[in-house]
Amino acid sequence: DTGVSQDPRHKITKRGQNVTFRCDPISEHNRLYWYRQTLGQGPEFLTYFQNEAQLEKSRLLSDRFSAERPKGSFSTLEIQRTEQGDSAMYLCASSSPWGGLETQYFGPGTRLLVL
Amino acid sequence: DQQVKQNSPSLSVQEGRISILNCDYTNSMFDYFLWYKKYPAEGPTFLISISSIKDKNEDGRFTVFLNKSAKHLSLHIVPSQPGDSAVYFCAARDNQGGKLIFGQGTELSVKP
């Protein structure tokens, strides 16, 4: 399967703990996006990378959130000192802007529950 | 502010009939619109898209219509099938950076 993969699929943690999620994009996709989705809402943009450069961050991304894509391939999203309000589905998408209109393809998501 | 809105949280349609899902937007700078389908506990799956320079795009049973003057797009599914039952999201691309702005979603239920 050459789609976007995310790990873990589920994470339960206690308030105050740190968590890290990983996303592996479709091979050769140079853009990688992180979104967050809460119940009853559509996905909300968090940040995106073009290769290893982080080009945009949403104001939703507080200081407790950090994302990296060190070699321009996989990416990690870390949440420090988790809060109950961080409970959500974290989605990763990748795309390639070449060859016409850009379509973002999503992974299965990581569902986070903060107790 | 909600730049992309799907005002119908749910829609129920009989199998074989047409499903019409609607979406409104406010930002004239969006350059590309997409529809995604989502099942519970899965990520969104891309369905169909349309450039802002077009007014219609068709792919099999799915057709997307764009009315730029009304800032409105719609997804038509003909004929509807029970397997189409899912939550449908419209999304608009920000031409400044490529991020997608999503609507709240419409849950489609196709009854046999």
Per the prediction, chain A carries an average pLDDT of: 93
Token code pair at residue A52: 């290893």
- At A6-56, the pLDDT tens digits run 999 999 999 999 999 999 999 989 999 999 999 989 999 999 999 999 999
Minimum Cα–Cα distance from B103: chain A residue: A42
- Residue B68 C-alpha, separation from nearest chain A C-alpha, in angstroms: 18
Please answer yes or no on whether B32 and A97 come within 8 Å at the CB atom: no
What is the bridge-based pairing of β-strands A5-7 and B56-59? unpaired
Among B100, B101, B106, B107, the residue to mutate for chain A (most A Cβ within 10 A)? B100
Please answer yes or no on whether B32 and A108 come within 8 Å at the CB atom: no
The pLDDT > 90 percentage for chain B reads 88
**pLDDT above 90: residue A86:** yes
pLDDT value of position A96: 86
- Residues of chain A in contact with residue B42, where contact means CB-CB under 8 angstroms, are 108-109
**pLDDT above 60: residue A1:** no
Measured CA to CA, the distance from residue A22 to residue A57 in angstroms comes to 18
**pLDDT above 80: residue B12:** yes
| Amino acid letter for position B40 | P
